């Protein structure tokens, strides 16, 4: 008999039996830490850490507790060059970010609210899960909470979209990847949900319904406002601790993300730690040469990154594809053709900003010198000198691809976000696939972010060869652009309150 997911949807109190699959822990996150360790003794220590429990099922059978902390400590000390603790009971990155971790509290038998981001791609016609990477990514956090009473909160899409659905399918999929019994509630903070939370036992997980079904969760607010929302006021008294593991939405300021941190002891989950540590290395402990590869459709997200990494000396080259490449080509005064320029309508302000970047850093931005278009139902390549074209530019050309591969091959740090072409069409995936292959072969520190790019990396089977595969798109870009993240700010405030409280207790005891 397989594990059960219980919930009030579709029939209250009726357990739904799932086909059980051996819940193997995703290993790439830990093996990649080991890849970075230069010292042979540390490599041995990392191997010991990994052998402790190669899968959740093995650990479940043995009944022996284990911890992933040694790998996290190795990452922090070796990659960031800092000790995990700053001497005051909080974790510190070299960027100055201070937050508490799950290691700072006794988690056994505690009722813990874990905010995650398992907003995942769903098939628009069937609403079946297409990619469960984000569900698998929270595995290390849940593994370290196996003796706790865990309640999970997340969102799926937003109102008005076809994939704005319940989290019942997510709960079913989660059961495949964790040893704990997973239950589901079709309520969020009403009487049914609160009663279900009270009934959660140690070693169990309860998944609440889509938090954005609650109107409050669809607004950005201040921490003070968030703490006063109905969701936070009704749920917070039921929990001993708040774990924020939702790095994918760390750039948002919605009640579930920042409100609980104002009223509960709050720590970062393992995924949050891993994401911040990886980007901390990119921005603080940068190894040179440093190359950024930016593509996709959202030039409004990519331009601030380009400006920030150049002005702060964190990038030697930026290689462009997609809409960012078209933006900089137009900034150089090139005519792309009516169809391509129609695609750029409304982006005129970014063309002007791109002109400023080219003026200040003329030799650091690499734009394509050739392109692929669809003509006569097949891929055809043209040179920049042949612009404008009557066809849509679909991919970077082969000469540009070779030039980009050469830059990546020389790099000691590579950050990539966004595809370089319309890779969903097989004729136009050449640039993106080859660049991903080059990144996976790079000996330096490599980070890939954004849903499309990380999804393709997983499909290509190269995720284990990349130093860090980020679950975030917008949050990663916001951090790379030098912006403050509301969720990180909330973690820092919670850590400061915790330290102040401990100091007051010590003084009173003395």
Each residue of 472-483: pLDDT tens digit?
A: 989 999 999 999
Which range, of 80-94, 227-241, 261-275, 372-386, averages the lowest pLDDT?
80-94
Higher pLDDT, 80 or 123: 123
Question: Is residue 301 located within the same domain as residue 406?
Answer: yes
Question: Is residue 55 located within the same domain as residue 110?
Answer: yes
Q: Specify the pLDDT at position 377.
A: 87
Q: Specify the pLDDT at position 510.
A: 59
Which range, of 3-12, 110-119, 130-139, 451-460, averages the lowest pLDDT?
3-12
Q: Specify the pLDDT at position 55.
A: 30
Question: Is residue 242 located within the same domain as residue 298?
Answer: no
Residue 189 falls within a domain, yes or no? yes
Tell me what the pLDDT averaged over the chain comes to: 84
Give the pLDDT band (50/70/90) at residue 53. very low
Question: Is residue 50 located within the same domain as residue 166?
Answer: yes
Residue 237 falls within a domain, yes or no? yes
Assess whether pLDDT exceeds 70 at residue 227: yes
Q: What angle do CA 313, 456, 330 make, to 5 degrees?
A: 50
Q: Specify the pLDDT at position 285.
A: 87
Diameter of the chain measured on Cα atoms: 83
Question: Is residue 424 located within the same domain as residue 326?
Answer: yes
Residue 105 falls within a domain, yes or no? yes
Which range, of 137-141, 239-243, 281-285, 394-398, averages the lowest pLDDT?
281-285
> Peptide bond preceding 214: is omega within 30 degrees of 0, i.e. cis?
no
Q: Specify the pLDDT at position 61.
A: 29
- Expressed as residue numbers, the domain containing 199 is 40-276
Question: Is residue 272 located within the same domain as residue 357?
Answer: no
- Mean pLDDT confidence for 210-215: 98
Residue 363 falls within a domain, yes or no? yes
| End residue of a domain, out of 257, 276, 295 | 276
Residue 262 DSSP label: G
Q: Specify the pLDDT at position 339.
A: 95
Give the pLDDT band (50/70/90) at residue 131. confident
Question: Is residue 208 located within the same domain as residue 331?
Answer: no
Burial 110-130 (b: 16+ CB within 10 A, else e): bbbbbbbbbbbbbeeeeeebe
Q: Specify the pLDDT at position 38.
A: 37
Q: Specify the pLDDT at position 4.
A: 45
Assess whether pLDDT exceeds 90 at residue 191: yes
Question: Is residue 232 located within the same domain as residue 347?
Answer: no
Nearest in space to 17 (alpha carbons), one of 28, 32, 2 = 2
Give the pLDDT band (50/70/90) at residue 500. confident
Give pLDDT tens digits for 92-108: 665 566 899 999 999 99
| End residue of a domain, out of 454, 472, 490 | 472
Give pLDDT tens digits for 299-349: 999 999 999 999 999 999 999 999 999 999 999 999 999 999 999 999 999
Give pLDDT tens digits for 252-300: 999 999 999 999 999 999 999 999 999 999 998 899 999 999 999 999 9
Distance (Å, whole) CA 463 – CA 311: 31
Question: Is residue 122 located within the same domain as residue 195?
Answer: yes
- Mean pLDDT confidence for 448-468: 91
Nearest in space to 135 (alpha carbons), one of 171, 189, 108, 99 = 171
Question: Is residue 124 located within the same domain as residue 269?
Answer: yes
Q: Specify the pLDDT at position 455.
A: 87
Question: Is residue 270 located within the same domain as residue 316?
Answer: no
- What the block records as the tokens of 199 is 């009934």
Query: Tokens 């090139």 appear where?
Result: 334
Is 204 in a helix, a strand, or coil? Answer: strand
Give pLDDT tens digits for 160-180: 999 999 999 999 999 999 999
| End residue of a domain, out of 241, 276, 311 | 276
Question: Is residue 155 located within the same domain as residue 226?
Answer: yes
Query: Tokens 């938090």 appear where?
Result: 211
Q: What is the pTM assigned to this prediction?
A: 0.79
Nearest in space to 300 (alpha carbons), one of 367, 350, 343 = 350
Q: Specify the pLDDT at position 278.
A: 93
Could you give the percent of the chain with pLDDT greater than 90? 74
Assess whether pLDDT exceeds 60 at residue 355: yes
- Mean pLDDT confidence for 423-440: 95
- Mean pLDDT confidence for 229-244: 98
Alpha-carbon separation of residue 327 from 95, 289, 357 (angstroms): 32, 25, 12
Q: Specify the pLDDT at position 89.
A: 53
Residue 1 falls within a domain, yes or no? no
Assess whether pLDDT exceeds 60 at residue 140: yes
Assess whether pLDDT exceeds 60 at residue 366: yes
Assess whether pLDDT exceeds 70 at residue 77: no
What is the CATH number for 358?
3.40.50.1260
Assess whether pLDDT exceeds 60 at residue 18: no
Residue 29 falls within a domain, yes or no? no
Is 138 in a helix, a strand, or coil? Answer: coil
Assess whether pLDDT exceeds 70 at residue 412: yes
Residue 119 falls within a domain, yes or no? yes
Residue 480 falls within a domain, yes or no? no
Number of domains in the chain: 2
- Mean pLDDT confidence for 352-368: 97
Nearest in space to 204 (alpha carbons), one of 185, 186, 180 = 180
């Amino acid at each position: 008999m397989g594990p059960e997911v219980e919930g009030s949807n579709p029939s209250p109190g009726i357990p739904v039996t799932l086909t059980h699959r051996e819940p193997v822990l995703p290993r790439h996150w830990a093996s990649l830490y080991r890849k970075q360790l230069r010292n042979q003794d540390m490599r041995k220590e990392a191997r010991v850490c990994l052998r402790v429990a190669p899968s959740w099922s093995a650990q479940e059978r043995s009944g022996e507790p284990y911890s992933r902390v040694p790998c996290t400590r190795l990452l922090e000390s070796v990659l960031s060059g800092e000790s995990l603790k700053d001497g005051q009971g909080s974790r510190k990155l070299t960027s100055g970010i201070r937050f508490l971790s799950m290691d700072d509290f006794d988690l056994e038998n505690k009722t813990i609210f874990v905010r995650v981001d398992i907003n995942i791609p769903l098939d628009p016609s069937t609403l079946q899960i297409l990619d469960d990477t984000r569900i698998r990514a929270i595995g290390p956090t849940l593994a370290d909470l196996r003796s706790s009473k865990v309640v999970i909160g997340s969102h799926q899409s937003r109102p008005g979209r076809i994939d704005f659905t319940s989290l019942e399918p997510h709960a079913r999929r989660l059961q495949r990847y964790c040893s704990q019994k997973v239950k589901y509630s079709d309520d969020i903070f009403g009487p049914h949900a609160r009663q279900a939370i009270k009934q959660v036992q140690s070693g169990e997980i309860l998944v609440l319904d889509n938090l954005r079904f609650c109107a409050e969760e669809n607004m950005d607010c201040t921490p003070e406002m968030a703490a006063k929302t109905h969701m936070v006021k009704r749920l917070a008294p039921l929990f001993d601790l708040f774990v924020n593991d939702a790095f994918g939405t760390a750039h948002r300021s919605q009640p579930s993300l920042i409100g609980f941190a104002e009223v509960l002891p709050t720590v970062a989950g393992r995924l949050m730690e891993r994401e911040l540590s990886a980007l901390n290395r990119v921005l603080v402990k940068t190894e040179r040469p440093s190359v950024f590869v930016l593509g996709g459709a959202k030039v409004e997200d990519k331009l601030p990154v380009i400006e920030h990494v150049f002005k702060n000396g964190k990038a030697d080259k930026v290689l462009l594809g997609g809409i960012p490449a078209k933006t900089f080509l137009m900034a150089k005064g090139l005519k792309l053709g009516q169809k391509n320029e129609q695609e750029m309508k409304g982006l005129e302000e970014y063309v002007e900003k791109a002109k400023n970047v080219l003026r200040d850093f003329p030799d650091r931005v690499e734009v394509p010198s050739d392109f692929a278009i669809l003509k006569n139902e097949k891929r055809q390549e043209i040179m920049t000198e042949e612009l404008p074209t009557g066809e849509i530019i679909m991919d970077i050309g082969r000469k540009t691809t070779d030039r980009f591969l050469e830059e990546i091959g020389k790099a000691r740090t590579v950050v990539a976000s966004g595809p370089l072409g319309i890779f969903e069409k097989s004729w136009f995936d050449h640039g993106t696939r080859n660049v991903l292959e080059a990144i996976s072969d790079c000996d330096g520190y490599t980070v890939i972010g954004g849903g499309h790019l990380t999804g393709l990396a997983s499909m290509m089977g190269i995720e284990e060869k990349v130093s860090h595969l980020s679950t975030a798109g917008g949050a990663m870009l916001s951090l790379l652009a030098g912006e403050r993240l509301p969720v990180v700010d909330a973690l820092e405030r919670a850590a400061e309150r915790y330290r102040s409280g401990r100091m007051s207790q010590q003084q009173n005891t003395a």
